[in-house]
A = this chain, B = another copy of it.
């Protein structure tokens, strides 16, 4: 079963020879054969192209009904009879590229919906699509080929680079964004951060939050995620950084290039991430720490100190992964009653 055409009309069909060339794979089989869509291995039918993600799905490949499969050299022989084979060292990446041929990101349908509210002094590049009830504020500058979805808001003075997308209900304010940026449904960018000083009497006095949000090229912000603007100075997400849904980014956080921040992570104010840092789901990072490039933070970790580059940490409070795993194994062992000791516990 390929994609539902009511939501995802597919281009194609494509000849396997053309697909192989487009994604840099070596075709084993007839080049003239065609496929008309892409699908996961378990769901793919004779007209679909699938891929093998790794050894643990080998059984699924042997049972597959797909017309063609992207697979690495080692597993090519496992494809069932009648299934064409496209050999590539990176099957998942090749699949992403093939899928994009069938389902390219929908291009903007140029025009401003009659219900949209666009400031007279805002500027829009060529070929932008502005949806119903979208709001574009004074002096905003929107590059060519952007899509501003229904109810999306581009605040006064904001800059949005070419080919960017605001999905339904996304909001950007006090923000300068590069090209190819995507804000998913309900993303909140440039909101006032949680900045106040408490008097001796317990009154919270707001510190004016007069910084911005700077989004590098290709940054993506997940649904209902929040990126607060700087208190003074900027909150910065480096080029290619991707946030999943329901993520919280505090004021003056900075990330390098290509960081991956999974769902429900929270990063407190002024913390800095290097390049290609991965923060797994529901982890939390306190403010004012530094996480080195290529560090990996485990799911639900609670990070309270700097993390050196290329280091894995897990747990709350977070320790190096190996040490934490040993501690949990030890704890489990201590808590297991010994056979000859009904009171349980100590070895």
Q: Point out the residue from B169, B205, B281 that lies within 8 Å of A97, measured CB to CB.
A: B205
- Across the interface, name the chain B residue whose C-beta is closest to A113: B117
Per DSSP, chain A at the interface is loop
Does A275 count as interface, using CB distance less than 8 angstroms?
A: yes
Stretch at the interface among A13-21, A121-129, A185-193: A185-193
Q: Which of A149-208 contact B (CB under 8 A)?
A: 150-151, 153, 155-157, 167-169, 171, 173-174, 184-186, 188, 191-192, 194, 196-199, 202-208
What bracket does the count of chain A residues touching chain B fall in? Answer: 35 or more
Does A228 count as interface, using CB distance less than 8 angstroms?
A: yes
A232-B266 contact in complex given A184-B191, A212-B4, A226-B245, C-beta closer than 8 Å: no
Distance in angstroms from A2 CB to nearest chain B CB is: 8
Q: Is the CB of A186 within 8 A of B171?
A: yes
| A3 surroundings in chain B (CB, below 8 A) | 210-211, 232
Q: Is the CB of B194 within 8 A of A263?
A: yes
Q: Is the CB of B233 within 8 A of A248?
A: no
Q: How far is the CA of A284 from the CA of B4 in the complex (A)?
A: 30
**What residues of chain A have their CB less than 8 Å away from a CB belonging to chain B?**
1-4, 6-8, 38-40, 42-43, 90, 92-93, 95-97, 99-100, 102-105, 113, 115, 117, 131-133, 135, 139, 150-151, 153, 155-157, 167-169, 171, 173-174, 184-186, 188, 191-192, 194, 196-199, 202-208, 210-212, 218, 222-224, 226, 228, 231-233, 240, 242, 244-246, 248, 250, 257-258, 260, 262-264, 266, 268, 275-276, 281-282, 284, 286, 299-300, 302, 316-317, 319, 323, 326-332, 334-336, 344-347
